Amino acid sequence: MVPITTTHYLVVAAALFILGVVGVLTRRNVVIILMSIELILNAVNLNLVAFSRMWGNLHGQVFSIFIVVDAAAEAAVGLGILIAFFRNKETINVDEIDLLKW
């Protein structure tokens, strides 16, 4: 079997990223869109850690921890917005969220 190189990890991360993008662009449910954003952030994290392994230093791992912090903040604020919106409009579908639409 071929040994696992950095490229293998990059391909997995690219697949996760594409799946996340597809989820963001096609789904209607806001909760699932937020989950797809988590998928995208995970793909980026996997890239960072793979490159950190490739170069043999730990800065990539530190950055991926910062991205995890960022994802936590983003999820908290996003879900807070979602709950506030659900209270006003009784919907969680993105194409019904059109208060700002002219």
Partner 1 sequence: MTPVATPFFFYMLAGAAILSAMLVITRRNAVHSALSLIVTLLSVAGLYLMLYAPFVAGVQIIVYAGGIMVLFLFVIMLVNIERVSKERQFNRIWPVGLVASCALLALFLSAFRKGKDLLPNRVGDLPEASNTQEVAKLLYGEVVKTLQLPSGQYVMGQYTFAFEIASLLLLVAILGAVIMTKKKI
* Selected binder of partner 1 within 4, 98, 99, 102 (CB under 8 A): 4
Contact pattern from residue 40 through residue 69 relative to partner 1, giving x for each residue in contact according to CB under 8 A and a dash for the rest = --x--xx--xx-xxxxxxxx-xx-xxx-xx
How far is 71 from 74, CA to CA, in rounded Å? 5
Q: Is 100 in the site for partner 1 (CB under 8 A)?
A: no
Nearer CB in complex with partner 1: 95/99: 95
Q: Is 15 in the site for partner 1 (CB under 8 A)?
A: yes
Please write down the long-range contacts of 93-96, taking CB distance under 8 Å and 24 or more positions apart: 93/28, 93/29, 93/30, 94/27, 94/28, 94/29, 94/30, 94/33, 95/28
* Selected binder of partner 1 within 87, 88, 98, 101 (CB under 8 A): 87
